[in-house]
Amino acid sequence: MDSGGRGRYVSCEPGRPGGTNGRQRDGPVGQTAGGSSDMDIKKAPVGLAVFALVGPSFVWAAEYIGSGEVVIATRTGAILGTAVLWAVVFGIFLKFWIGMSGARYTVCTGEGMIDMFDRIGGPRHWVVWLVLVVQTVSGILSIGALAAAAGAFAHSLVPQVSPRVFGWLAAMFAVSVVWKGAFNILKMVMSFFVLIIVIGALYIAAHVFPSFAEFLAGFACRMPAVPEWAKAIEGVSPSSWDEILPVLGWGAGGFASQVWYSYWVLGAGYGAAAGRGYGRAADGVRLSKMSRPTAERIKGWCRVLYVDSSLAMVVGIVVTGAFLISGAGILGVERLAPNNDDMADTLSKVFSMRWNVVGGFIFKLSGAIAMVSTLVGQLAGWPRMLADSCRICIPGFDKRFPWKTQFRMFLVFFFCASMLVVFVLGLRPMFLVKLSAILEGVLLTALQAICVAVGLYVVMPKMLSKEAYDVLRPSPIFAAGLIVTFLAFGYICVVHIPPALVQLLGGR
């Protein structure tokens, strides 16, 4: 896609921040050749032409369709059945408001979510510091969990090789892909196998689909008890909430995924994000002089964003729901739930019980590749987020190190840290996946929702000219969605996370 605001798909290559061929533009956002004081924004497509430019949603969905769906949703379905379908819709729909609202801010201002956080009042950089500290720990655990899960799947195919070794190989492979930016061909290969496992899950879900009454009952927000047979399995908590929290955490991705979506929108060049690239705060002077016609053109790009983010939400709900229904209809009927020792073998029965040995093999192979694909996406996102955070919190960091160096420094850091996690906890992949889903996907979600609301309704009005904000003023529906998300995840964080962590870390 061209760089004139008509959309540009994000690249994982560290030498291409925002798709600008290794260099960010020297001038302010949207500066025209004639030096106009206003921003030069291309007109957004309309009608069916919008679908030709959706792209960030596919990057977003590809990043979060992995352990959250293949492992967690299938396992939760096996234990609690379709009665918890509400948790899939609830978690993904509420997080949709965070991702879409944060990306709307990016379309209107040209800067990512981390820079928005830094504009929130209070102690200097307090939100960004909190993100930097918590997300560093969460990133290490999440990347290690994905590497361990990939190692478990690969070990089930080749038992002679330790899952730890396979986990290290998976991490090495993912780092090399992101380091070199050699993603195009591999993306097609990995997407093919991910598509296979998704299509397989959809097919099985259709064949074991519950009755209409039972399906509707799954949205009644009931909390079914953990069955006695499941309590006897190592790693299964007697509390239903402990099993649902990971689904809420990694459905539609966690805290980081919502931040990354603003990066993918930057890379696609929607609205004021055209030509911006990563790691740059908005040009406040130009935003304060934005004209009404420019704001009208940006508003057209907001509509493109709504289509793009809604597509990601629908894909997330359908795919996650399919894995949960498949787990309930296959594993739940057989009273099987994957644990640390037999995670891949048990999960693969979702396919092998219908397609025998070949089905089991395909599930294991596709599952391993899905973990690696998600690992590549996370290794492309976390270094960007931490480089942004350090640029803001540590003066001189951005001036001392070029963007490519910053990216690779954090890439090496996460690789080394994840290698250690795999070495220590690589034989407990299910424990790692559940812990990561709770810490990364639930812990800061309430804070993220309220900060995005402040960004849209307090920060953005101060950045834009009055006539521009009159056009780009967000609808009250955004405030309602973000406040509900804040209240729901705030309640979960305060009431349900502490006992879940005590239970999980207790080693059951």
Using DSSP, state whether 13 is helix, strand or coil: coil
Region 46-74: mean pLDDT is 76
Name the least confident of 183-187, 244-248, 279-283. 183-187
Q: Give the pLDDT of residue 64.
A: 62
Name the least confident of 43-52, 281-290, 450-459, 482-491. 43-52
Burial class (CB in 10 A: 0-12, 13-18, 19+), 185: exposed
Q: Does the structure show a pLDDT above 50 at 70?
A: yes
DSSP of 144-187: HHHHHHHHHHHHHH-TTS-HHHHHHHHHHHHHHHHHHT--HHHH
| Distances 380 to 209, 309, 383, 415, 452 between C-alpha atoms, Å | 36, 20, 7, 12, 23
Higher pLDDT, 36 or 438: 438
Per-residue pLDDT band for 22 (boundaries 50, 70, 90) equals: very low
Per-residue pLDDT band for 38 (boundaries 50, 70, 90) equals: low
Per-residue pLDDT band for 32 (boundaries 50, 70, 90) equals: very low
| Contact by Cβ (8 Å): 267, 9 | yes
Per-residue pLDDT band for 186 (boundaries 50, 70, 90) equals: low
Task: Give the contacts of 129 (CB within 8 A, at least 6 positions apart).
Answer: 389, 393
Q: Give the pLDDT of residue 201.
A: 93
Q: What is d(CA 281, CA 320) in angstroms, rounded to the nearest whole number? A: 35
Q: Give the pLDDT of residue 37.
A: 53
Angle between helices 240-250 and 497-505 (to 10 degrees): 100
Per-residue pLDDT tens for 407-441? Answer: 899 999 999 999 999 999 999 999 999 999 999 88
Q: What is d(CA 171, CA 431) in angstroms, rounded to the nearest whole number? A: 18
Q: Give the pLDDT of residue 228.
A: 95
Q: Give the pLDDT of residue 26.
A: 36
Q: Give the pLDDT of residue 49.
A: 76
Region 66-77: mean pLDDT is 87
Per-residue pLDDT tens for 251-289? Answer: 878 899 899 999 889 988 899 998 887 778 899 999 999
Per-residue pLDDT band for 29 (boundaries 50, 70, 90) equals: very low
Q: What is d(CA 350, CA 358) in angstroms, rounded to the nearest whole number? A: 12
Q: Give the pLDDT of residue 381.
A: 87
What does pTM read for this prediction? 0.89
Q: What is d(CA 30, CA 274) in angstroms, rounded to the nearest whole number? A: 7
Per-residue pLDDT band for 445 (boundaries 50, 70, 90) equals: very high
Highest-scoring range by mean pLDDT, 64-73, 180-189, 191-200, 480-489? 480-489
Per-residue pLDDT tens for 365-408? Answer: 999 998 998 898 889 889 989 999 999 999 888 888 887 888 89
Q: What is the DSSP letter of 274?
A: T
Averaged pLDDT of the chain: 87
Q: Give the pLDDT of residue 24.
A: 37
Per-residue pLDDT tens for 485-506? Answer: 999 999 999 999 999 999 888 8
Share of the chain above pLDDT 70, in %: 90
| Nearest of 349, 331, 437, 317 to residue 80 by alpha carbon | 331
Ordered structural domains, the chain, with CATH: 45-214+224-505 (1.20.1740.10)
Q: Give the pLDDT of residue 12.
A: 47
> Which residue intervals of 251-332 are DSSP H helices?
255-268, 284-288, 292-326
Per-residue pLDDT band for 7 (boundaries 50, 70, 90) equals: very low
Task: Give the contacts of 296 (CB within 8 A, at least 6 positions apart).
Answer: 471
Q: Does the structure show a pLDDT above 80 at 55?
A: no
Helix (H) or strand (E) holding 362: helix 343-393
Q: Give the pLDDT of residue 193.
A: 83
Q: Does the structure show a pLDDT above 70 at 148?
A: yes
Per-residue pLDDT tens for 315-344? Answer: 889 999 999 999 999 999 999 999 998 999
